[in-house]
């Protein structure tokens, strides 16, 4: 737990950079003239693409050159990799909060859940319970030998279908790993019980009165205070 807390921010920085630059930023499309990715993949496009980028992040974070660019010494590389993979597994588990009425409501969450399912299928991740809590565990010794091939296969499959514009097979494949069975529905009930409410950032307002006097106005940290702050700020 201490390792996770100390390195999660650094691992996330590496993940986001690879996700954006080498995930979203690469991949050849072999479409006919006039065709677009969103046009072919429709409502699945966003989650499918986010999954491709997220998978690229954990796959390529094993490249020592990338970790060195971010200033991580070689002796810390394995820890950064482990925490990044564990963070992804945890994110896939927590993503169930955004699965409602048989549908995924957030593209990144569906993407992370798909990756979690792939890692569970490969035997790299297991979910256990001690009757009060659920625990997501990742065997760091299996990352290179089992995890990397599994995620590599996921990446190859996602990219192949995307490059060819093969929506039919892409949907069959993606839906398989997006499916929330009864066991995961139970996990979701647990997550909804323990999840923290989203923070409310209630901003103060500086108001110029009488031509020269600056008045600092605060609002209560409630839903009403949040609305009052916005009304005050944008009423001019």
Of 26, 91, 107, 94, the residue nearest 60 (C-alpha)? 26
Q: Are 110 and 47 in contact (CB under 8 A)?
A: yes
Q: CA Rg, the chain, in Å? A: 22
> How many whole angstroms separate alpha carbon 18 and alpha carbon 93?
22
**Closest C-alpha to 147, from 184, 116, 177:** 116
**CA pair distance 28, 165, nearest whole angstrom:** 11
Q: Are 66 and 60 in contact (CB under 8 A)?
A: yes
CA dist 30 and 133 (Å) reads 47
Residues identified as active-site: 20
109: Cβ–Cβ under 8 A, 6 or more apart, which residues?
91, 95, 96, 97, 98, 99
Torsion angle, CA of 54/59/62/66, rounded to 10 degrees? -50
Please state at what angle helix 107-122 crosses helix 148-164, rounded to 10 degrees. 130
Distance of CA 107 to the CA centre of its chain: 9
């Amino acid at each position: 737990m201490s390792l996770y807390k100390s390195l999660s921010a650094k691992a996330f920085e590496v993940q986001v950079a690879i996700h954006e630059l080498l995930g979203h930023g690469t991949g050849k499309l072999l479409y006919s003239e006039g065709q677009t990715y969103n046009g072919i993949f429709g409502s699945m496009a966003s989650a499918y693409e986010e999954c491709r980028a997220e998978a690229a992040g954990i796959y390529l974070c094993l490249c020592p050159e990338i970790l060195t660019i971010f200033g991580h010494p070689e002796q810390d590389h394995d820890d950064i990799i482990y925490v990044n993979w564990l963070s992804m597994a945890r994110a896939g588990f927590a993503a169930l909060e955004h699965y409602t009425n048989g549908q995924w409501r957030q593209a990144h969450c569906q993407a992370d859940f798909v990756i979690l399912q792939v890692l569970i299928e490969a035997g790299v991740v297991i979910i256990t319970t001690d009757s009060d809590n659920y625990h997501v565990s990742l065997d760091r010794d299996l990352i290179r030998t089992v995890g990397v091939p599994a995620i590599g296969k996921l990446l190859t499959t996602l990219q192949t279908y995307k490059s060819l514009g093969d929506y039919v097979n892409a949907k069959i494949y993606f839906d398989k790993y997006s499916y929330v069975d009864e066991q995961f529905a139970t996990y979701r009930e647990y997550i909804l019980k323990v999840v923290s409410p989203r923070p409310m950032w209630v901003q103060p307002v500086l108001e110029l009165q009488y031509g020269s006097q600056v008045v600092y106005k605060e609002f209560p940290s409630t839903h009403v205070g949040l609305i009052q702050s916005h009304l005050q700020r944008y009423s001019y």
